[in-house]
Amino acid sequence: GTVVFNENNLASSYFNVCIDARTVLSDDEDRTEHLRDKDFFSNKYPNICFKSTSIVKTANGYAVTGDLTIKGKSKKATIPFTFKNNVFKGTFKVNRKQYNLVDGTKTFLIGDMVDVTIICTVQ
C-alpha cells in the first residue's frame, strides 16, 4: 500500500494499505491456523484493507480514522498509533461479527470484540 506521513502536515498525510488476511496471527497456533482457513478468510477475501480519511495528533501519539474493509465489509474505524524510528504501532478493537468473522464450526470460542495490533515498518 501507500503511506504518506508527515508529522508536521497531518492534513496531507494518509494511509491506503492492504495486508494478506492469511498473515493474521494469534497467541494460539491452532487458532491461527483456523483463522486462516475458509471459516474466516478465503481466496474470495484475501486482503484486509484500510483507507484513511483523517489523522490527528493525540496526547499519546496520533489517531487515524478511515474505512476498514474485512471480508468485503467496510466500517469506520479509528486506530490510535505511535510513530518512532519509522515504525507505526497501534492497537484497537474490532467487533468481529460486524465483518462476518464468525466461526461456522463452533470449534472454539472467542469474544465478539477482538484486539488487533499493528506493527508496520516503513522505509
Structure confidence by residue, pLDDT tens digits, 10-46: 999 999 999 887 777 677 777 667 666 665 666 677 8
Higher pLDDT, 20 or 82: 82
In a 3-state reduction of DSSP, which class is residue 104? coil
Mean pLDDT lowest among 11-20, 64-73, 83-92, 113-122: 113-122
Question: Is 71 a residue whose pLDDT tops 90?
Answer: no
Q: What is the pLDDT of residues 111-122, one digit of tens each?
A: 788 888 899 898
**Strands in 1-123 per DSSP E:** 2-4, 14-20, 47-58, 61-70, 73-84, 87-95, 113-121
CA atoms within 13 Å, Cβ hemisphere of 122: 15
| Cell numbers standing for residue 84 | 518512532
> Predicted confidence band at 9 (pLDDT cuts at 50, 70, 90)?
very high
